[in-house]
Structures are given as structure tokens and as C-alpha cells.
């Protein structure tokens, strides 16, 4: 089954928690360029790799590095809406959304994420998730937690601890990554759906799918790949746990990954 896959990296300067995040410098490169270059070097995207942004500063940086940019409206509150607008300009079957603050993204988990689209025509949306290794990170509202059904679908997302408020160290807690895949048709369908109460309450666009009874397949993977361990870091007083984020204080983690 042949499908054309495109990657779209949404990015904007007006991040609430970290303004100017896409242009934060890591190892001499803006973060958005770490993400774009890693994704571009993956042997996955016959439909191309594009940065979707409403900001001229980001456009200038990416185009000066020979990257492709799609300018979008500055009214989008959700990354998926920005990606959906950009996707109208592309000839592809599946769109992979890679958030612009995933500078440690590697190929293996993205390959696993898109594989179901080649095997099952009913798959319309999939989300990469990975384990939360440190229970101390569960209360953080910066981490979107998720739970998975027996069939593999994701059934809720929350910035609170789920499931339950009592933490059990042995329970396999999961967090949402900033990496998702959609058929182009399902992505456009998403844009037509009304915003939902839980989506607004949790500030999580994927809840719009769930509240409209659309399935999201969860692809569980250890994000950063070989020889890189789960880590915790701090930036500007904000504590986050992730495999790829803008809050990096230890650039050696990025440096240790395959180069572009």
C-alpha cells in the first residue's frame, strides 16, 4: 500500500510558557532548526517536510537554512489547527505533526507511529506516547498525561494525574508527545469539529477528537533512542520531564544523537 507522507512542524513565537521558544539556541542552532533538520533527514517523508508558522522571524530563520515554510493564520490556539491549514497546500495522504519543541526527535518512533496507516485503512489518527519514568513528574501541568484502552486507543488526556490521584510507582503512566499523525481527510474533518469543553479545560486539542467519538490510536515508544537515558532538567525556574523540549540545560543530550 503506497502512501505519501508529509511532516509539518507547527511553531510560533507567542508560547505562553516560553515566549520565543522556536528560536531558543541549542548548540548554536535555533531549536526549530534542530527539529526540522532531524525530521528532514528521516527516510519517511516523500511528501516533504514543512514548518508551519505565522511569524516572519521563524520563516526567515528556516528559509535561510533552505527549509520550506508555509505561512498560516495568527489566530490558531491549537497546533493541530495550524497544521490543518498548512496541509491544504500539500499533496499527501498522511500528515505527521512534529511539534517545534522536539529537538531530540529520532526516526524509529516516527516510523512506528505511521506504520498502522499502511496496514489498516480505518486508522485516521495516531499519537506517539511514552512512559513517565519519574512519579514526581506526574503532578506537573506542563505534562499531558494519557490513558490507553485494551485495544490501544487513547481514551483521555489530562494535565492532572490520571488515572486516579494516588500515585503507584509500579503503574505504567503515559505522557503525550508532541508528535501525531493523521490521514489528510481526518485532519480536515478535525478542523470542522466544534471546540469542546474538555479540550478547552485541559488545553489539549486531542480531546476534541475524543469528545466527538473519533478514535486515536496510541503508539507507545521510548522516545530518544539508543544510549540516551530518560532525564530531568530545569530552565528559567520551570521544571519539565520530556524526551524533547525547549527547556534543555544539557545540550550533550542533543549532541549525542545522530547528527544532520
Indicate whether 94 belongs to any domain.
yes
Burial class (CB in 10 A: 0-12, 13-18, 19+), 127: buried
Indicate whether 116 belongs to any domain.
yes
Q: How many angstroms separate the CA atoms of 233 and 8, rounded?
A: 27
CA atoms within 13 Å, Cβ hemisphere of 134 = 15
Indicate whether 55 belongs to any domain.
yes
Q: Is the pLDDT of residue 247 over 60?
A: no
% residues pLDDT > 90 (the chain): 63
CATH number for the domain harbouring residue 96: 3.90.550.10
Indicate whether 183 belongs to any domain.
yes
Total of domains in the chain = 1
Indicate whether 239 belongs to any domain.
yes
> What pLDDT band is residue 77 in, cutting at 50, 70 and 90?
confident
Indicate whether 135 belongs to any domain.
no
**pLDDT score for 255:** 55
Indicate whether 108 belongs to any domain.
yes
Pairing label, strands 29-30, 217-220: unpaired
Q: Is the pLDDT of residue 147 over 70?
A: yes
Is there a contact between 36 and 66 (Cβ–Cβ < 8 Å)? no
**pLDDT score for 229:** 28
DSSP for residue 153: B
Q: How many angstroms separate the CA atoms of 153 and 147, rounded?
A: 9
Most confident of 90-94, 240-244, 254-258: 90-94
Whether this model's pTM surpasses 0.75: yes
Residue whose C-alpha is closest to residue 52's, from 108, 9, 103, 101: 9
pLDDT digits (tens, 9 = 90+) for 178-222: 899 999 999 999 889 999 999 999 999 899 999 999 999 998 765
Is there a contact between 145 and 93 (Cβ–Cβ < 8 Å)? no
Residue 11 structural domain: 5-126+177-255
**pLDDT score for 26:** 87
Amino acid at each position: 500500500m503506497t502512501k505519501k507522507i508529509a511532516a509539518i512542524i507547527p511553531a510560533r513565537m507567542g508560547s505562553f510558557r516560553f515566549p520565543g521558544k522556536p528560536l531558543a539556541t541549542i548548540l548554536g542552532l535555533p531549536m526549530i532548526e534542530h527539529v526540522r533538520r532531524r525530521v528532514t533527514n528521516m527516510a519517511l517523508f516523500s511528501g516533504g517536510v514543512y514548518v508551519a508558522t505565522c511569524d516572519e522571524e521563524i520563516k526567515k530563520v528556516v528559509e535561510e537554512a533552505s527549509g520550506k515554510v508555509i505561512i498560516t493564520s495568527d489566530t490558531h490556539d491549537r497546533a493541530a489547527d495550524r497544521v490543518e491549514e498548512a496541509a491544504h497546500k500539500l499533496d499527501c495522504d498522511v500528515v505527521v505533526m512534529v511539534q517545534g519543541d522536539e529537538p531530540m526527535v529520532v526516526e524509529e518512533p516516527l516510523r512506528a507511529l505511521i506504520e498502522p496507516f499502511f496496514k489498516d485503512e480505518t486508522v485516521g489518527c495516531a499519537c506517539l506516547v511514552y512512559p513517565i519514568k519519574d512519579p514526581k513528574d506526574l503532578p506537573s501541568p506542563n505534562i499531558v498525561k494519557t490513558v490507553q484502552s485494551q485495544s490501544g486507543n487513547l481514551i483521555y488526556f489530562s494535565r492532572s494525574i490520571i488515572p486516579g490521584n494516588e500515585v503507584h510507582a509500579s503503574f505504567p503512566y503515559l505522557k503525550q508527545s508532541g508528535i501525531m499523525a493523521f490521514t489528510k481527510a481526518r485532519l480536515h474533518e478535525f478542523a470542522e469539529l466544534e471546540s469542546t469543553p474538555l479540550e478547552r479545560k485541559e488545553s489539549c486539542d486531542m480531546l476534541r477528537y475524543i469528545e466527538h467519538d473519533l478514535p486515536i490510536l496510541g503508539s507507545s515508544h521510548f522516545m530518544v533512542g539508543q544510549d540516551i537515558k530518560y532525564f530531568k532538567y530545569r530552565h528559567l525556574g520551570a521544571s519539565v520531564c520530556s524526551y524533547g523540549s525547549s527547556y534543555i540545560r544539557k545540550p550533550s543530550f542533543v549532541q549525542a544523537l545522530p547528527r544532520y
